[in-house]
Amino acid sequence: MTLNVSVVSAEREIWSGEATQVSAKTSEGEIGILTGHEPVLALLANGEVRVTTPEGEKITVDAEGGFFSVDHDSVQVVAGKATLVA
């Protein structure tokens, strides 16, 4: 089972796809999401959003502000500014 993940900035889509895990820094602290997680809506703090794909690839996005939403194995990260880290 996987998560459907979408990471967007105010300007464009940064990354979307399937993942086994998503971690991000919120105003309440670090949060890690796996399949079956309860619904969550949190303010996104400045920092990294880390995504692990089913193939084990690690995707890192630097994000500034916005929100982080989880519902029914769907994760939406909407940041004011975001860039994919190479």
Find the domain containing 73 and state its range. 3-85
DSSP readout, 22-64?
Answer: EEEEETTEEEEE-TTPPPEEEEEEEEEEEEE-TT--EEEEEEE
pLDDT tens sequence across 4-17: 999 999 999 999 99
At residue 70 the predicted structure's pLDDT band, cuts being 50, 70 and 90, is very high
User: How many domains in the chain?
Assistant: 1
* CATH code at position 24: 2.60.15.10
pLDDT at 86 > cutoff 90:
no
Looking at residue 12, its pLDDT comes to 96
CA distance readout (Å), 15 to 4, 50, 51: 11, 11, 10
Give the mean pLDDT of 47-58: 97
